[in-house]
Chains A and B, each alone.
Chain A
Amino acid sequence: KNEVEQSPQNLTAQEGEFITINCSYSVGISALHWLQQHPGGGIVSLFMLSSGKKKHGRLIATINIQEKHSSLHITASHPRDSAVYICAVRYWSGGNQFYFGTGTSLTVIP
């Protein structure tokens, strides 16, 4: 069974803290997507990566293909970072579609 697991499910941080959200998956993937979903439902793509590391502003995403694990880091967190962060993977055997984790709900307190 292809599964995508995220941890933690819920996370509360003080403004300025360094945050890490983890994603693990069960079989080989061709790509991994980190997404941000705000209340109301709109989803924004943050990163798509298949190896190594990507950085955009205060966000950093890394992936370890051998360990089947990815992390999303937020440096100097801010209340506007409060959202649900979702990891999604595209399996080599799963066609072109992405399979989603259940998300990590992040709340950053001023």
Chain B
Amino acid sequence: ETGVTQSPTHLIKTRGQQVTLRCSSQSGHNTVSWYQQALGQGPQFIFQYYREEKNGRGNFPPRFSGLQFPNYSSELNVNALELDDSALYLCASSVFGGSEGYTFGSGTRLTVV
């Protein structure tokens, strides 16, 4: 049984560029949630995908978009990067409504310069 894998682990982008972050969910999980964690803060919910459909969205602008594939892996896309987008992006997979909670990936550290 594999855990949650995120790629890349670190990334440096220039303001205005676009970025795609990837997440493969744990075997048996059908839901992927994305979170942004700024330094010293708790993770903030971006959105969640369940069976390839978006199932909730946090207070993030439309520049943040995503999708989920039939194998339940997921991508987070951020367009027109801003300096404040610099953060740790966390992916968590789970079974929708399950009793075991989230399994987290190690995150992608994005730095926008």
Contacts and interface: CB of A to CB of B under 8 A. Distances in A.
A76 interface: no
Interface residues of A, number: 24
A96 B100 contact: no
Contacts of A86: 42-43
6 contacts: A4-B42, A41-B90, A48-B101, A100-B35, A100-B43, A102-B40
Interface string A68-110: 0000000000000000001010000011111111110000000
Interface string B82-107: 00000010101010110111111011
Given A35-B104, A98-B33, A98-B102, 6 more contacts: A33-B102, A43-B107, A45-B101, A97-B55, A97-B58, A100-B43
Contacts, number: 68
B56 interface: yes
B109 A97 contact: no
B102 A45 contact: yes
Q: Which size class do B's interface residues fall under?
A: 20 to 34
Contacts of A97: 33, 45, 48, 55-56, 58
Interface of B: 31, 33, 35, 37, 40-45, 48, 50, 55-56, 58, 88, 90, 92, 94, 96-97, 99-104, 106-107, 109
A13 B90 CA distance: 29
Contact of B97 (A4, A40, A96): A96
Contacts of A48: 99-101
A11 to B, nearest CB: 15
Contact of A95 (B44, B56, B101, B102): B56
A42 B56 contact: no
